[in-house]
Amino acid sequence: MLSGVLAALGAGLLWGLVFITPLILPDYPGVILSFGRYAAFGLIALVPAWFDRQRILQLRRQDWLAALKLALVGNIIYYSALATAIQLADAPLPTMLIGMLPVVIAICSNWSPHHPGDSIAWKKLALPLLIILAGLLFVNAAEMAHFTEVSLNSQRSLADYVKGGLIALIAVAAWTWYPIMNGRYMKVHSHISSSTWATAQGLATLPLALIGYLGYGAFAWLQRDSGAAVSGAVFAFPLGSTPLKFVLVMAALGLLASWLGTLLWNLASQKLPTSLAGQLIVFETLSALLYAFILRGSLPAPQILIGVVLLCAGVTLAVRAFQPAPH
């Protein structure tokens, strides 16, 4: 259990990087950030795939189909929806909805367990979930207040906020489905190593990302050629206004947040019950907050610190709830 929790912590630290990418590259459309990140993931995965080619070649057709579905939903759809929602509605609403993932995943996986060890009595799960929920509310309330002040100077319509909220719900649904299904597949097919499965998902993501990237370029070219004004038309396809910065950031995300983060999460999924692993996604929220405050160059408000303490306490209680009782 300790190694599983540490693996989930490492994945959360790496996944937190994806939340600050739109801040580092504010002029790039959300779908381009998603396609660029996962194109880099797929290209980077070619290297470990070569060294791990014997086990890669042993994967069956059903394994590749599962990897393709997981890559489409958990990679392309999730990050495209998240980045687009932040661009439409600013950070408060999408952050609040995405921040509820640990609770939503734990409830869904405990409601319909795939394996007896994946679930526990609701009375044991209730207190950790309530504490995590309280911590998320504290953190998100403070962040909403901050971003509301910032967004007063921006011109966003009510329609944009509604669209952003609906798209954020797509991201929530995608990343509720992904860890549950990925964890179940890893447990059933325990002969597949974490690194092999992470590499397989990278390889499955590559054609999806390339098709999407080229498709966006064709769409932008047609719109520009027809004189239509669409969101993202100012993007200088294919690498934007700061090509070197874009390539370096995408390469970092592909290696760290995607390949290594997926490897660590696969390891955690094999070692931990799905209900517990879902709650440990809270590490992603904490990491995203840490990196955001580093970028801002400011200290978190007391309300955020209270929320962080509650989150850590809830996760600690959740881990203890899943530990087997001594005989």
pLDDT tens, position by position, 238-286: 888 899 999 999 999 999 999 899 889 989 988 888 778 877 888 887 8
138-149: per-residue pLDDT in tens?
877 776 776 666
pTM: 0.81
- pLDDT tops 50 at residue 232: no
Show Cβ contacts of residue 170 under 8 Å, excluding neighbours closer than 6 positions: 77, 81
pLDDT band at 231 (very low <50, low <70, confident <90, very high): very low
Burial 3-42 (b: 16+ CB within 10 A, else e): ebbebbbbbbbbbbbbbbbbeebeebbbbbbbbbbbbbbb
- Cβ contact 264:12 at 8 Å: no
Compute φ and ψ for 297, nearest 5 degrees. 70, 30
Enumerate the domain spans of the chain: 2-322
- Would the pLDDT of 54 be above 50? yes
- Long-range pairs of 112-119 with CB within 8 A, sequence gap ≥ 24: 113/274, 113/275, 114/184, 114/187, 114/188, 114/274, 115/184, 115/187, 115/274, 117/273, 118/183, 118/273, 118/274, 118/275, 119/273, 119/275
AA identity, residue 243: P
- How many angstroms separate the most distant Cα atoms in the chain? 73
74/153: higher pLDDT: 74
- The mean pLDDT value of the chain amounts to 84
The percent helix, strand, coil of the chain (3-state, each to 5) is 80, 0, 20
Q: Of the candidates 16, 38, 81, which has an alpha carbon nearest to the alpha carbon of residue 198?
A: 38
> According to the model, what pLDDT value does residue 114 have?
61
Helix segments in 99-193, DSSP class H: 101-111, 122-151, 158-188
What length does the chain have?
A: 327
